[in-house]
Amino acid sequence: MIINKTAILLIAAPDKKGLVYALTDYIYHNNGNILHAEQHIDLSNNIFFMRIEWDMGTFGIEKAAIWASLEKIKIEYQMHMSLYFSEDKISTAIYISQTDHCLLELLYNNNQNNLMEIKLIVSNHEKHREIATYYNIPFYFIPIFKENKGLQEGRQLSLMQEQKIELIVLARYMQILSPDFVGLFPHKIINVHHSFLPAFVGADPYKQAYNRGVKIIGSTAHYVTDTLDDGPIISQQTVAVSHKDKYEDFVEKGKHLEKQVLLTATRKHLEHKILVFDNKTVVFD
Amino acid sequence: MIINKTAILLIAAPDKKGLVYALTDYIYHNNGNILHAEQHIDLSNNIFFMRIEWDMGTFGIEKAAIWASLEKIKIEYQMHMSLYFSEDKISTAIYISQTDHCLLELLYNNNQNNLMEIKLIVSNHEKHREIATYYNIPFYFIPIFKENKGLQEGRQLSLMQEQKIELIVLARYMQILSPDFVGLFPHKIINVHHSFLPAFVGADPYKQAYNRGVKIIGSTAHYVTDTLDDGPIISQQTVAVSHKDKYEDFVEKGKHLEKQVLLTATRKHLEHKILVFDNKTVVFD
Amino acid sequence: MIINKTAILLIAAPDKKGLVYALTDYIYHNNGNILHAEQHIDLSNNIFFMRIEWDMGTFGIEKAAIWASLEKIKIEYQMHMSLYFSEDKISTAIYISQTDHCLLELLYNNNQNNLMEIKLIVSNHEKHREIATYYNIPFYFIPIFKENKGLQEGRQLSLMQEQKIELIVLARYMQILSPDFVGLFPHKIINVHHSFLPAFVGADPYKQAYNRGVKIIGSTAHYVTDTLDDGPIISQQTVAVSHKDKYEDFVEKGKHLEKQVLLTATRKHLEHKILVFDNKTVVFD
Amino acid sequence: MIINKTAILLIAAPDKKGLVYALTDYIYHNNGNILHAEQHIDLSNNIFFMRIEWDMGTFGIEKAAIWASLEKIKIEYQMHMSLYFSEDKISTAIYISQTDHCLLELLYNNNQNNLMEIKLIVSNHEKHREIATYYNIPFYFIPIFKENKGLQEGRQLSLMQEQKIELIVLARYMQILSPDFVGLFPHKIINVHHSFLPAFVGADPYKQAYNRGVKIIGSTAHYVTDTLDDGPIISQQTVAVSHKDKYEDFVEKGKHLEKQVLLTATRKHLEHKILVFDNKTVVFD
């Protein structure tokens, strides 16, 4: 059984009896077949979260009319809703500085499963042009200095708007984006921080970890917010280190983690499996 | 919000449109509030699995009448159903041979969360009587030899029936139960095998693993079936070993795994979160 | 080949040619057989660390005379040395507050491998007396309030001195020891902190972790120093959590980590496999 | 302190008093400075293993004369010895079939740390030529059918001999090499098997694992011997799976493991940290 086109609904609402019923009733009576449904109740805040995905093949309402048709339920249950369609690829920009292992992981994997449309690569280093060319993706070298920072961010913003970018992946981009820029992309910028947050916020976390003498290092993918390294965490991984590991070994071991958490987080985002509430994420399987 | 009494329904059925709707409709129109709902579709076999749990506090049908009230849905959708109530503690027997680390883990944890009623401990070694007494659980010393095996199993069976045992946990019990005995408890006997199954079936898996020179060892909790170490796997864990680990270190490191996989598997069973199909398990979160 | 009595030498020294030679020469010419030798060079500080263990069975120098016989090498190579003998069991005190899972793990394991002599258990809660009695270990109920803290610590100190305590294991002891007390036991107090340090220093780290929305929690065993939760880290472990885990689940999952890191760290200490330098540990295998 | 040129000695010998002394004496009196020394005693077989690495900068014997100068110790202690120099890069061939993720991992990492000289890539699929060209490595398309197998292996052998290949890395090469070919490269062919050996020997282990319903999958890097998937294991890793993972997810998750175990194993080999005994490996840190 191969399903080609699906609709995906993400919901957050105050928990209330009849909520699930209302949604399944809507889908059933419009001739839809539910393929995936996952729900979560945050008991301390009494918030209900749901992701529901159904087959568009037999569905009785056209794509363009679905949003309006959900209006009644939405109001009755005070739902925050987002609606996505599996056929719509998300337009993405990848930002990168010196190291390219995260970029390569994203490019290689997207070549396999084709979940996003990578519209452009932005870097403050010229050297990644070759790999971008190899993958046929437009490359923009935008160097950043203290003096030109505002200007260059404006240039970036124009690019994002021209290309209708819906997701920015910071694949080891070592510049801090301004709150104004970040504010335009709420929960639409994913960053990989090379530590097990909230340990070692800020610069060179491997050096910090090495100096502290930890026995495990980690990596964190999170949405970017105004506060540095404080956004909602999407994915984390850790690996053991010991006194035998030099600082360089921390960096080396960390690369594997960084690649994996960023790939996992990006994929979850592209599959519309993440809901954010109270600076925390619900990440459905 | 504290929920005291809930009903739990486990369902397996051929996937069909309207299935989820039928269930949520049933619960909603009987004034129930869904607390947890998890579903899984096995796409290769087109089987739908669901666990749905709702609050009994407001529910309009009495406990004793629920099963009958589900009859119509059950037939219409060809559902295999099991119904449980959170207030009904499962009557359990624990079997054990020489080592007691798994027993202690189960006793300690049940003292904390009180998920099962441990009716008796059966062992082919007298020495565990003291710890059973400490926890106020009846202890039965039932030694097994080649000659008395059938007889002793009969004795065990009488005990199980007297105590209405619904779950048998083999917490490192080194005797093989007969197919006849096993047949009376389908998916109601949980065993911990001290290897990463299907590697190292049979006797002394740590010795086998040591001799093979593996770099990781594992442990597996599974339901017991006719075929040795071949039943549906519920939980597995692994840990790294190296040339520095002697056979004794394998045994020692393995103990931590055994405790954890057996505890996890038992808990999932007691929470009615496991469905078995095609010798595999669906284990809901 | 069973070795009963061994000598263990821990060494830290400025790295210098001939160092290993001097030690092996000493052991060889006194008829000793090296059983284990591990070394580590901290390249950034140019410090050499070594643990060397040899059979006392054939060794030509008596136990009491060994220390003096090492004097020459010690001075020539500016070595910091510690000498231990496997037959000398370390006198230990265990401190505990509310939860007993770490205590039980230590007691159960020491019953198996008998690495330390647990002289007493100290608790600010009376309720653990029963388990202490079960294991035949003297139990001291020493409640702590703001007003009596100094007094009670004095009482503890007397007990430590009477019993010649060489190691204090804080097995989830929720009182902060005074700098004066800590100063008397340098690298001789092991604490388990229920977070992945340096994240979530201080009180209720699981609550902090839950509120931050992390996807992995951890546990840390470390030597206690003047600065809270800042001592040299010996062992760390982590486990995955998700939005499905409530605060109580964090606590429950964390228990397994706490038991393991504390057991591992205590064992490494008892086997004389830890060297401390620059607030970091070298932990030999 | 940067060390450029080092000598590395790998030793296996019957354990005997004076062994370590003889080696340190040799190095010390020839003015060498030991940088790394690791030893292991296999107590059940009474075999001593050692890896010792020293600075060639100050060493009193020339590179070409070292082997002969070790003759006396070698004979006296019945040592099996291998001598390597850090400046000599190992000539390597990489074999690959359909999937290229392991190849890319090896190429990318070798570009960073430059541990081996990759002389050629052999594949039974033409499609990898482009990536070989990108990295400037000669590519040989050698298709294999039942009829031409012997012939093509002969062609491969010629290539290996022409290029003086010392290590063959099978980076997901799905053809079975003949015993004759394997016999020419003892402990010089590293394979990655996409299961947690010894579970799921042979073809399509992910399918086997999926059908068995395991909860963890693994990957194994090992030296190739005559017996399929039975050679000495060098590195293994595992990752959790669940009923939610389809066969394709097993394959996808497994790729990360395969890359890591093959990279780790290859690196350990290139750093001369592996000793083989009794079909098992000693892998020094």
- Chain B residues whose beta carbon lies within 8 Å of the beta carbon of residue C285: 242, 244
CATH superfamily of C6-85: ACT domain (3.30.70.260)
Question: CA-CA distance, B72 to B75, in Å (whole number)?
Answer: 5
A68 Cβ neighbours under 8 A, 6+ residues apart: none
Question: What residues are paired with A275 via a beta bridge?
Answer: A282
What are the backbone angles phi and psi of residue D141, rounded to the nearest 5°? -85, 110
- Chain A residues whose beta carbon lies within 8 Å of the beta carbon of residue C212: 197-198, 233, 280
Of C212, C233, C237, nearest to A213 by CB-CB distance is C233
Are B201 and B223 in contact, with CB atoms under 8 Å apart?
no
Band of residue C4 on the pLDDT scale cut at 50, 70, 90: confident
- Buried b or exposed e, range B134-173, using 16+ CB within 10 angstroms: eeebebeebebeeeeeeebbeebbebbeeeebbbbbbbbb
Note the pLDDT of residue A113. 87
Distance from CA of B180 to the nearest CA of C (A): 37
Burial of A131 (0-12, 13-18, 19+ CB in 10 A): middle
Tokens at A57, concatenated:
């093949």
Cα angle D199, D201, D202; round to 5: 155
Share of chain A above pLDDT 70, in %: 99
pLDDT tens digits for D235-272? 999 999 999 999 999 999 999 999 999 999 999 999 99
Note the pLDDT of residue D109. 94
Say how many C-beta atoms besides its own lie within 10 A of residue B177's C-beta: 21
Question: CA-CA distance, D48 to A14, in Å (whole number)?
Answer: 67
Number of A/B CB contacts below 8 angstroms equals: 46
Question: CA-CA distance, A179 to A171, in Å (whole number)?
Answer: 19
* DSSP H or E stretch at residue C105: helix C101-113
Tokens at D221, concatenated:
């890097």
User: Three-state SS string across C18-38, please?
Assistant: CHHHHHHHHHHHCCCCEEEEE
Closest residue on chain A to B44 (Cα):
A1
pLDDT higher than threshold 70 for residue D1: no
* Closest CA relative to residue B75, chosen from B152, B31, B14, B166: B14
Band of residue D75 on the pLDDT scale cut at 50, 70, 90: very high
pLDDT higher than threshold 70 for residue D217: yes
Say how many C-beta atoms besides its own lie within 10 A of residue B126's C-beta: 10
Question: CA-CA distance, C175 to C191, in Å (whole number)?
Answer: 11
Closest residue on chain D to C39 (Cα):
D37
Band of residue C228 on the pLDDT scale cut at 50, 70, 90: confident
C45 Cβ neighbours under 8 A, 6+ residues apart: C277, C278
Band of residue C43 on the pLDDT scale cut at 50, 70, 90: confident
pLDDT in tens, chain B (285 residues): 456 799 999 999 999 989 999 999 999 999 999 999 999 999 889 999 999 999 999 999 999 999 999 999 999 999 999 999 999 999 999 999 999 999 999 999 999 889 999 999 999 999 999 999 999 999 999 999 989 999 999 999 999 999 999 999 999 999 999 999 999 999 999 999 999 999 999 889 999 999 999 999 999 999 999 988 899 999 999 999 999 999 999 999 999 999 999 999 999 999 999 999 999 999 999
Number of B/C CB contacts below 8 angstroms equals: 12
Question: CA-CA distance, B56 to B61, in Å (whole number)?
Answer: 9
The mean per-residue pLDDT over the stretch C15-25 comes to: 93
A157 CA to centre of own chain:
19
- Chain C residues whose beta carbon lies within 8 Å of the beta carbon of residue A212: 197-198, 233, 280
Note the pLDDT of residue D168. 98
Which among C1, C16, C28 is the top mutation candidate for probing chain D, defined by the most D β-carbons within 10 Å of its own β-carbon? C28
Question: CA-CA distance, A14 to A213, in Å (whole number)?
Answer: 45
What is the average pLDDT score of chain C?
Answer: 95
Band of residue A3 on the pLDDT scale cut at 50, 70, 90: low
Tokens at C256, concatenated:
């397994």
Residue with tokens 């890793």: D237
**3-state DSSP call for residue D108?**
helix
Contact B285 C256 (CB under 8 A): no
Residue with tokens 């220093």: C201
* Closest CA relative to residue C182, chosen from C224, C237, C140, C235: C224
Contact A214 C236 (CB under 8 A): yes
Tokens at C222, concatenated:
């470390």
Tokens at D165, concatenated:
């290949």
Question: CA-CA distance, B230 to B238, in Å (whole number)?
Answer: 18
Contact C25 D25 (CB under 8 A): yes
**Is the alpha carbon torsion for D151, D155, D156, D158 positive or negative?**
positive
Closest residue on chain A to C274 (Cα):
A243
Note the pLDDT of residue C3. 61
- Chain D residues whose beta carbon lies within 8 Å of the beta carbon of residue C25: 21, 24-25
**3-state DSSP call for residue B153?**
helix
Are A14 and A49 in contact, with CB atoms under 8 Å apart?
no
Chains in touch with A (≥3 Cβ pairs < 8 A) = B, C, D
**3-state DSSP call for residue B149?**
helix
Asked about B229 being catalytic, the answer comes back as yes
Contact B104 C101 (CB under 8 A): no
Are A257 and A192 in contact, with CB atoms under 8 Å apart?
no
Question: CA-CA distance, A259 to A194, in Å (whole number)?
Answer: 10
Note the pLDDT of residue B2. 56
Question: CA-CA distance, B24 to B199, in Å (whole number)?
Answer: 43
Are C94 and C140 in contact, with CB atoms under 8 Å apart?
no
Start and end residues for every CATH 3.30.70.260 domain found in chain C: 6-85
* Closest CA relative to residue C157, chosen from C138, C171, C139, C142: C142
Which among B256, B262, B267 is the top mutation candidate for probing chain C, defined by the most C β-carbons within 10 Å of its own β-carbon? B256
What are the backbone angles phi and psi of residue C104, rounded to the nearest 5°? -60, -40
Are B245 and B253 in contact, with CB atoms under 8 Å apart?
yes
- Buried b or exposed e, range D213-249, using 16+ CB within 10 angstroms: bbbbbbbbbbbbbeeebebbbbbbbbbebebebeeee
Say how many C-beta atoms besides its own lie within 10 A of residue C77's C-beta: 18
Note the pLDDT of residue B228. 86
pLDDT tens digits for D27-72? 999 999 999 999 999 988 999 999 999 999 999 999 999 999 999 9
C91-283 has which fold?
Rossmann fold (3.40.50)
Start and end residues for every CATH 3.40.50.170 domain found in chain B: 91-283
**Is the alpha carbon torsion for B180, B183, B184, B189 positive or negative?**
positive
Radius of gyration of chain D (CA): 21
Q: Which amino acid is at D20?
A: V
- Chain D residues whose beta carbon lies within 8 Å of the beta carbon of residue A285: 242, 244
Tokens at B119, concatenated:
């009716």
Burial of B48 (0-12, 13-18, 19+ CB in 10 A): buried
The mean per-residue pLDDT over the stretch A3-16 comes to: 92
Question: CA-CA distance, D190 to D231, in Å (whole number)?
Answer: 9
B60 CA to centre of own chain:
31
Query: Which one is catalytic: B42, B100, B204, B229?
Result: B229
Radius of gyration of chain B (CA): 21
